[in-house]
Amino acid sequence: MGSAMQIICCGNSDRGDDGAGLLVAQQLRALGIKAEVQPGDALDLIESWDESEEVIVVDATATGTQPGNVQVWDGKVPQKIVSAAGPSHGLGVGEAVYLAEILHRLPRRLRIYGIEGKQFGLGEEISPEVRKAAERVAKEIAEQIVVRSQ
Rounded Cα distance between 109 and 66, Å, is: 28
Q: Which residue has the higher pLDDT, 132 or 145?
A: 132
CA distances in angstroms from 47 to 19, 67, 115, listed in the order given:
22, 30, 23
Mean pLDDT value of segment 122-150: 90
Mean pLDDT value of segment 3-25: 91
Amino acid at site 3: S
Rounded Cα distance between 111 and 72, Å, is: 7
Q: Please state, as a whole number, how many other Cβ atoms lie within 10 Å of the Cβ of residue 86.
A: 27
CB contact at 8 A, 46 and 92: no
Q: Which pLDDT belongs to residue 56?
A: 95
pLDDT for residue 2 is more than 50: no
pLDDT digits (tens, 9 = 90+) for 47-101: 988 888 899 999 998 888 999 999 998 887 655 554 444 445 566 788 888 888 8
pLDDT digits (tens, 9 = 90+) for 113-124: 999 999 998 999
Residue-range domains of the chain with CATH = 5-149 (3.40.50.1450)
